[in-house]
Amino acid sequence: MPKAAISKLGCALLGLLQQKPSSGYDLRKIFSTTAMTTYSDSPGAIYPALQRLQQHGLIRGSIESGTGLRRRQVFRLTAQGTAELRKWIARPVLRADVIRGLDEVMLRFAFSEQAVGPSASVRILQSLQAELASYIPDLHAQLSAGKATMPTSGRLALESGIKGYECLLRWTRNALGAYALKKIAPIKHDRPNRARRKQDRPKNDRPERKK
């Protein structure tokens, strides 16, 4: 029997548990108080999702002492869960993701650096940049072809979508620039340090000048 696909909520739970082992209550609190409010914090959504992940061997729960006499079940990723999380993050960004799944792309990007490393974050950005750069001209072509016959509301809606994608493309390029700066920063700061080390060398270690 083929293994069922992990839901987007399941992937979000794997990403959060990779950052920190948590109880169901802790995870519900994250979904209700952070920017992840797009996910339901209902016990009817969170606990069945955790149970499915545990049945697939992606997480394991253990009973631990809480505050006072209260005991709680804390969930952690298994090695298989970590592998599944990294596999999900490493997927290339496709045209379908740009059209219908940008929220999941951003979720993968948000977890990528801690779960896999900065190189995974850069790969997602590069893949997203390539798809946006390919898709935006197609949208402009659609706008040009249908502009004369479109109702004003339809034209403005399409223009809004195009501007949104163009804004995202600019952000993607800026984000890649931020990672590029992180990579070259140690090289830039290394030269002055070498110069200071040379100047700080004791005088008796320096070669004597010929008189």
State whether 27 and 96 are in the same domain.
no
23-54 per-position pLDDT tens digit: 999 999 999 999 888 888 888 999 999 999 99
Counting residues of the chain whose pLDDT is more than 70, the rounded percentage is 82
List of long-range contacts for 128-134, beta carbons under 8 Å, 24+ apart:
128/93, 128/98, 128/168, 128/172, 129/169, 129/172, 129/173, 129/176, 130/93, 131/93, 131/94, 131/95, 131/97, 131/98, 132/98, 132/165, 132/168, 132/169, 132/172, 133/169, 134/95
Tally of structural domains, the chain = 2
Does the pLDDT at position 111 exceed 50?
yes
Residue 46 and residue 115 in one domain: no
Mean of pLDDT over the chain: 86
Confirm if 47 and 118 have CB atoms less than 8 A apart. Answer: no
Show which of 30, 62, 85 is a domain's final residue: 85
Has residue 199 been placed in a domain?
no
Arithmetic mean of pLDDT, 108-131: 96
Residue 13: is its pLDDT beyond 80?
A: yes
Residue 76: the pLDDT is 97
- Which residue, among 116, 97, 95, 114, has the nearest Cα to 106 in the 3D structure? 97
Question: Residue 67 pLDDT more than 80?
Answer: no
The Cα 146–Cα 142 span in angstroms is 6
Residues 28 and 70 occupy one common structural domain: yes
Q: Are residues 115 and 70 in the same domain?
A: no
What amino acid is encoded at 122 in this protein? V
User: Are residues 113 and 150 part of one domain?
Assistant: yes
Both 64 and 97 in one domain: the answer is no
* Comparison of pLDDT for 90 and 191, the residue scoring more: 90
Residues 155 and 97 in one domain: yes
Domain that holds residue 125: 92-182
